[in-house]
Structure 1
Amino acid sequence: MRTAFRIALGLFLLLAGVSHLTVNRVAFLAQVPTWLPIDGDVVVVASGMVEIALGLSLVVLGRYRVQVGWIVAAFFVAIFPGNISQLVTHTDSFGLNTDLARSIRLLFQPLLVIWALWSTGAWQSWRARRRRPAHHDSQ
């Protein structure tokens, strides 16, 4: 089941990444915070390329799924300010044309982080390492 969810998340990221570079480029540009000292289009293209790479990694790098899971979770945290900016600046994009809709969307970002950590086994791996007793040599 985790594998299916991991692959589904990978495909979701692939689709989102490709849409950054094509059909939704303007919509994603509207979400780039104006306070970023980087050209918005550069942010959209770069984040799209990162999403494509992360999506492919989730799908094909099963052996490294735990490490990829942590990276994907960190990516979702890193792009969260864009979602907050969209709410604070009342920017319409992706059909989110009310503050209520933009606020509800904010609730889904932590779910994406959880999805990445759970579906890759990253959270489980971290917990297992914490439970292992430390090995001390008595030499």
Structure 2
Amino acid sequence: MPRPSPAALVRSLAQAVLGAFLVAAGTAHVTVLRTEFRAQVPPWVPLDVDLVVVASGVVEVLVGAALLLTLLPGRAARARVGAGLVTAALFVAVFPGNVAQYVEGRDAFGLDTDQARLVRLFFQPVLVAWALWCTGAAGWLLARLRARRT
């Protein structure tokens, strides 16, 4: 079995960190930071706020676990790409909550100024890119786009 390249090792490490972060954040949703995460739910969401926080926490744990599990030996690259696409979609899906927190001036997670809430918005695309890059999903998407052009 060939040894992975240094770049592959860095991507795998980045994937592991992202997976662990999501498992921890999802766990915090349903435990110690539940009140803080309630501030993320926009008032226009037509569901119970606590239900949204708990459900999103469960989803984060599952997505984080998928990122970690696809790192195990013998897992197909397709599984990693799938996990990356789902992770990126999750980050896109929660972005409106971050925007709502900024627009409505709601404090949470130490984000108690408009400037802090605004700066945070610029990190969401970084998370999307991180998920796509470390799992190989970015390359898969680019290949699909190129194939469509021909």
Q: TM-score, normalised by structure 2?
A: 0.85
Q: How many residues align?
A: 135
- Structure 1: gaps spanning 5 or more residues: none
State the identity %: 51
CA distance in 2, matches of 1:134, 1:102: 39
2: CA distance, partners of 1:21 / 1:111: 25
Please say which of residues 125-134 and 80-89 is displaced more in the overlay: 125-134
CA distance in 2, matches of 1:4, 1:53: 19
* Cα-to-partner distance string for 1:101-137 (whole Å, 9 max, x where unaligned): 00000000000000000000001122234445999xx
User: In structure 2, how many angstroms separate the alpha carbons of the residues matched to 1:92 and 1:129?
Assistant: 41
Change (3 A) 1:20 1:127: same
- The aligned runs of 1:78-89 (5 Å cut-off) are 78-89=93-104
TM-score w.r.t. the length of structure 1 is 0.92
CA distance in structure 2 between the aligned counterparts of 1:131 and 1:99, rounded to whole angstroms: 40
* Aligned counterpart for 1:104 among listed residues 119, 123, 144: 119
Which deviations, in whole Å up to 9, do the C-alpha atoms of 1:24-56 show, x marking residues without a partner?
000000111000000000000000000000000
Partner of 1:49: 58
SS of 1:45's partner is helix
Secondary structure at the residue paired with 1:118?
Answer: helix
Q: What is the identity, as a one-letter code, of the residue corresponding to 1:81?
A: P
- Given residue 60 of structure 1, which amino acid in structure 2 is its aligned partner? L
CA distance in 2, matches of 1:131, 1:37: 39
1:91/1:126 Cα in 2 relative to 1: closer, same or farther (>3 Å)? same
**Matching of residue 23 in structure 1 with residue 54 in structure 2:** no
